Amino acid sequence: MQEGIGRNKKERAVNTWRAAGYDSIELHRGASITMEYARHWHEELYLCAVVDGGGDLDCRGRSYPTPPGTLVLLPSGEVHANRKRECSFRCMFIEFAALQKAVEQSREQAVPTINFRSELIHNARTMTIFLRLHRALESPGSKLFRDSAAMRLFERLVSRHSAASIASTRDGNEDFAVNRTKKYLEEHYAEQISLHDLARLTRLSPYYLHRSFCRKVGMPPHAYQVQVRVNRARSFLRRGRSISDAACAAGFVDQSHFTRQFKRFTGVTPGRYLRLEQECTRRSDPHALTWSG
């Protein structure tokens, strides 16, 4: 399924892909696209974040400008046309049945009616949640982070941008489930773990576990896993392992991702940390040579 049956005014590439394990979501990304799209509709729920440039959306007899910071939401079957002018954007096409199933599994309750409304969303928080998932599905990464990002977007779309009525989950004593999750993440830090794996482990819904973990620990499960990985990597570096070996042993998918996360949690790059550790070791060794001059 392609969004546009349109006339190219300027030849630019629009990248399209599906991430492994998320077959119900098709993703598009374009940079500096100028194009007119004929009137059409989508079978899926359509979301398009305008990152730069702009355009117009023609829908229900009116034309609406779509400047940067706009998130277009159109339910399946909504006939529309649009124009992009030097527009950089990220689109997502979500199969409705898969979205409803995910929300019901997370909430552990039936959601009989989810009627989305066509709208231009100018909410910074919704845009941030959308872009976080889109970028997470662009390249290999943490399954736990992707699951959490997908769940947060689905929940926000249904709770803030649909007519669905969802009862709040009853709070209870989640200490055992949260502590068990922490222990599991600490023991299996290098493994690809999904939110559904943790939900099965604790016998809670993914949504309930995620919310309880955030409230009691102060960060989501995927961030806790990254922190554990960084701690393990620091230990490996102190024991003399190379940066690449430490990254791999701690469960990071590549060295650049490892470097970003390591600096985010420690304030220094792995290379800088290793040099500082080596300097401390030399200073504490009474037999180490001291150079001057």
State the pLDDT confidence band at 176, using cuts at 50, 70 and 90: confident
Indicate if 148 and 25 belong to the same structural domain. Answer: yes
Indicate if 191 and 255 belong to the same structural domain. Answer: yes
CATH of the domain at 185: 1.10.10.60
**E-only strand ranges, the chain:** 6-10, 14-17, 25-40, 45-59, 62-65, 71-74, 80-94, 119-121
**Residue 218 burial (CB count, 10 A):** 9
Indicate if 139 and 17 belong to the same structural domain. Answer: yes
Indicate if 40 and 135 belong to the same structural domain. Answer: yes
The CB-side HSE value for 113 (13 A sphere, CA atoms) comes to: 5
Identify the domain containing residue 109 by its residue range. Answer: 6-161
| Token couple for 4 | 């546009």
Indicate if 271 and 198 belong to the same structural domain. Answer: yes
Indicate if 185 and 134 belong to the same structural domain. Answer: no
Q: What is the pLDDT of residues 6-47, one digit of tens each?
A: 444 444 688 999 998 899 999 999 999 999 999 999 999 999
State the pLDDT confidence band at 115, using cuts at 50, 70 and 90: confident
Question: pLDDT at residue 3 above 50?
Answer: no
Indicate if 150 and 189 belong to the same structural domain. Answer: no
Indicate if 121 and 184 belong to the same structural domain. Answer: no
Does 261 map to a domain?
yes
